[in-house]
A and B are shown apart, each in its own frame.
Chain A
Amino acid sequence: MILKSRPDKILVAFSYIFLVLFCLTILYPFWNIIVISFNESNDTARGGLTVFTREFTLENYKQVFKDTRLLGAFKISALRTIISTFCATLFTSMFAYGISRKQLKFRRFYLKYCTLTMYISAGLIPTYILFRSIHLINNFWVYVVPWLFSAYNMIIFKSFFENLSDGLIDAAKIDGAGEYLTFFKVVIPVSKPVYATLALFVAVGQWNSWFDSVIYITKSELLTLPALLRQIINSNTVEQLLAQLNVSATEAIVSKISTRSLSSATMIVSVVPIILVYPFLQKYFAGGIMLGSIKE
């Protein structure tokens, strides 16, 4: 079918070369961090480390897992991810199911009320003042409550529910099931793909979220993994700056495990959960985006 003339071969070759180079650029930063994280710290400081480890060690990881702050941050991140993902998908989808029912009065108004918030937002400061007044500052629940509802995800849920066959819901109704029973026993089980997609997206967003712990949290025991990682990386740059100024920090770098090694190992620890769910993400997200674009 596809004619294989000369220029086509050139095109295919070009595509391969371009994509291979692009993928290498994507992968190298990961590889660089992996290598540093598994290499002996003093050896890394000697420089010249690029593609392979020179002195393989697990010491950096041992340090990471010894650090109680890190374990605490890991726990906070894991907790917020699990609680938020569960609550947000349930809360948002319940609303979406209600909106998807044609019998619901005022549904057009509700929909406008909802989508308006996608385009007009109050901005950082009024939100900050509100959170302050309802005591969400320095409170674990600031990681969960504001994310309970997302208009964007609601629309994806809604368009999915609207595409379910009416017969399905009517049948449940005839059997005497109320709205709630129908929702939990009929709608949720047949909507697994959309739940999987959105839950994964919420989970990744939660796990990666950094800015909220910067603005709303000052207590160190409530810091998330990205926030703590950020502090470690930052002390790394400070050390480098000192080293540049030829302060005795050069000695400090050589004498103990450098923060560069430590931050690399921490980065890997925080990326691993994402890599673990990545196959599932990939299975679903393309479909998820398409669901979103149905509306557009």
Chain B
Amino acid sequence: MILSEASEKIQQRKIQSERRKCNIKEQLVLQSLVIPGLIFLAVFSYIPLMGIVIAFQDYDLFLGVRGSTWVGFKQFIDFFGSNNFLKIMRNTLSISFLKLIFGFPMPIILAILFNEIGKIKIKKAFQTITYLPYFIAWVVVSGMIISLLAVNNGTVNNFLISLGLINEPVNFLSKPEYFWPILVISNIWKGSGYGAIIYMAAIAGINPELYEAASIDGATRFRSIFVVTLPCIIPQVAILLILNISNILNTGMEDILLLTNNGDNAILNGVSEVIDTFVYRYGVKLQRYSYATAVGLFKTVVNVAMLFSANSIIRKLTDTSIW
């Protein structure tokens, strides 16, 4: 009796341990799927994060992180005390706000107007055209801008002269007062169509009965934009608006660098220098590594704080969260 019980126990234990072995093996295989990715992130995301400490040093490439002298908050104090700080904050915030004020409504307007086009083929054609610029490199877009605004025979100058609005060609790309409008318009040109997709999907999800009910109540198609369409897409609008606002310090820099000769255009510098271009110029070009890292860290900290508050606002408003 006892013997058989014991042997049964041993048998069970054997099965269990085999199953565990099998589980461990399966688990190892599963882990092997994700380990390369984890290592990748450790190297390319987390090691650079530790590199942020050089913001508190006077980093020397040859001495490395360990050998360089610690200077505490010196780089930050230098930055906040310099004339550059006010200039680049003004430019960063102005460009972001202008992009937001003029660029944010455009995709919504496009989506609503797409929705009014009854003929599906024509609607498709409109959409195909408006999405296209999103997939064109900024380098090419900047080439187009330079060509269109050229002083010698640029279409814009030719057009304005033929209308009699100007008497001689204007060099739009070296006049500081035109820089922000050019930047904002080219961003609208490039991104609006693509930005409309998310609203198109939201509009497609609206219950058609709502439109019927509105029309029975005597609302015209025009009026139902305001009583049905817009109220229904308000959640998407609110979330994207909050996210955009929380991204305010990320002005984007390819467009700016490309229109200012990699930031070297001295005439435009007063209006074109933003945090990102400043970090690039001081860090990569002038090799002031610690200073540039400090400026970058300042941006990251503000960004993260903004994102967290944005998330809590979104959570309060809509019960959803971005993570």
Interface residues of A (CB under 8 A from B): 1-3, 5, 7-8, 10-12, 14-16, 18-19, 22-23, 25-30, 32-33, 36, 44-50, 91-92, 94-95, 97-99, 101, 103-105, 110, 113-115, 117, 119-130, 132, 146, 148-149, 151, 154, 178-180, 183, 204, 207-211, 214-215, 226-227, 229-230, 233-234, 236-237, 240, 243-244, 260, 263-264, 267, 270-271, 274, 278, 281-282, 285-286, 289-290, 293, 296
Structural contact, A233 and B137, CB atoms closer than 8 A: no
Structural contact, B144 and A33, CB atoms closer than 8 A: yes
Q: Map CB proximity to A onto B286-309 as digits: 1 under 8 Å, 0 otherwise.
A: 000100110011011000100100
Smallest CB-CB separation from A97: which chain B residue? B33
Q: Which residues of B contact A180 (CB under 8 A)?
A: 29, 33
Q: What would 23 A/B residue contacts be, using CB atoms closer than 8 Å?
A: A3-B215, A15-B113, A15-B116, A22-B130, A32-B148, A33-B143, A33-B147, A47-B152, A94-B36, A101-B33, A104-B33, A105-B31, A119-B304, A121-B45, A124-B284, A125-B292, A126-B50, A130-B48, A146-B44, A179-B30, A210-B254, A214-B262, A278-B132
Interface residues of B (CB under 8 A from A): 26-27, 29-31, 33-34, 36-38, 40-41, 43-52, 54, 61, 110, 113-114, 116-118, 126, 128-133, 135-148, 150-153, 155, 158-159, 171, 173, 189, 193, 197-198, 200-201, 211-212, 215, 220-223, 239, 253-254, 257-258, 261-262, 276, 279-280, 283-284, 289, 292-293, 296-297, 299-300, 304, 307, 320, 322-323
Q: Which residues of B contact A11 (CB under 8 A)?
A: 116, 220-222
Structural contact, B36 and A95, CB atoms closer than 8 A: yes
Structural contact, B36 and A125, CB atoms closer than 8 A: no
Structural contact, A121 and B300, CB atoms closer than 8 A: yes
Count how many pairs of residues, one from A and one from B, have CB atoms less than 8 Å apart in the complex.
280
Say how far B125's CB is from chain A's closest CB, in angstroms: 8
Say how far A204's CB is from chain B's closest CB, in angstroms: 5
Q: How far is the CA of A261 from the CA of B214 in the complex (A)?
A: 56
Q: How far is the CA of A45 from the CA of B151 in the complex (A)?
A: 11
Q: Which residues of B contact A293 (CB under 8 A)?
A: 198
Q: How far is the CA of A22 from the CA of B110 in the complex (A)?
A: 9
Q: Which residues of B contact A281 (CB under 8 A)?
A: 135
Structural contact, A98 and B222, CB atoms closer than 8 A: no
Say how far B234's CB is from chain A's closest CB, in angstroms: 16
Structural contact, A50 and B155, CB atoms closer than 8 A: yes
Knowing A8-B222, A146-B44, A149-B37, the reply to whether A123 touches B142 (Cβ < 8 A) is: no
Knowing A149-B41, A230-B139, the reply to whether A123 touches B34 (Cβ < 8 A) is: no
Say how far B185's CB is from chain A's closest CB, in angstroms: 9
